[in-house]
Amino acid sequence: MLQPKPSALYRLAQVLRVLAILALVFLVLFLATVAYSAVEMGEGIARQSGSLQHSDTASLVGTAVVVNVTFPIRNDGYYNVRGLTLVAIFSNDTIQSAPIAVTETAAPVSIPGHGSSTISLLTEFDLANPAGPFLLLNDANINGTLFLNASYAAVIPVNLEVGFHYHWGAPFANLTYDVGTPTPESNGTIAVPVTVHFENHTPGLSVVGMLNVVVTQSNGTACTRQSFPVHTTEGPVTLTQTFYAPETCQLSGATIASTFVGSGFDISLPTETLP
């Protein structure tokens, strides 16, 4: 007995069912490849940012050191990345609980599939905040969190959170004051040789200005002051000047402090007590 021939509507429904299954499989594969591409890009950023340095240019602005922190980014996925933006939060809980700096891309960028790019974030480390005294004088490994937002294949939004490490180089690393033996002068004063040592560990930063140094007795009375001209790029710095103070000045237990002024920078450096 012959089976009734399926109707055209039934055959159409079968075709649509097969097409729906194929579309679902395609969608699953598409989303899987997008997820894979996003994870690969995130892991690539994490690998390459194991110890980020900033670019070769840095500047002193107000009480801040402004640097370009560059993030190398590879898109090893199959699809174009569009509208890529980065937000970076720099932090170190041992220095201060609040973020040391927060910065983001000025404009979105695009990276083709299997392409790469380097995104620079203009980052301002304000040395007048509670972390300032530490960052002025000490190199530090700063932990950070990078928030990445983009769209794959122009339709799938992707948000990633990636940890990174940034090496901070202090502009006045290892600052020390060396006070020599006072020598009586014929005019009733004493000559006090003072040497200032520090190292500029901030790559590309030119430190130009005056280091104003004040010696204050333990009773709070200013003993003497002097200014050191500073003009140095990266590397060690040694400055020596002779201070002239009244014979009554008691240097034992006095404090010595300095303020650097120049290049748009005006900030007090930590004090030191003389033995």
Please tell me whether residues 150 and 181 are part of one structural domain: no
Same domain, 246 and 130: no
Q: Are 77 and 106 in contact (CB under 8 A)?
A: no
Residue 30 structure tokens = 């598409």
Quick check: is 238 in a domain? yes
> Do 54 and 156 sit in the same domain of this protein?
yes
Element (H, E) at 24: helix 8-48
Structural domain total, the chain: 2
Q: Is the pTM of this model over 0.75?
A: no
Over the stretch 54-77, which tens digit does the pLDDT of each residue have? 555 777 777 788 888 887 788 777
Tell me which of 144, 168, 192 is where a domain ends: 168
- Residues near 134 by Cβ (< 8 Å), separated by ≥ 6? 95, 140
Find the CATH number of the domain harbouring 261: 2.60.40.10
- Please report whether residue 76 resides in a domain: yes
Q: Residue 109 is encoded by which pair of tokens? A: 């960028």
* Domain-located, residue 141: yes
Instruction: Return per-residue pLDDT of the chain as tens, 275 residues.
Output: 555 666 766 666 666 777 777 777 776 777 777 777 777 776 666 665 555 555 557 777 777 888 888 877 887 777 788 888 888 899 887 787 788 888 888 788 888 888 888 888 888 888 878 888 888 888 888 888 888 888 776 677 777 788 888 888 888 898 888 888 888 888 888 888 888 888 988 888 888 888 888 888 888 888 888 888 888 777 888 888 888 888 888 888 888 888 888 766 777 887 888 77
Asked if residues 46 and 162 have their Cβ atoms less than 8 Å apart, the reply is yes
- What are the structure tokens assigned to 48, written together? 């390459």
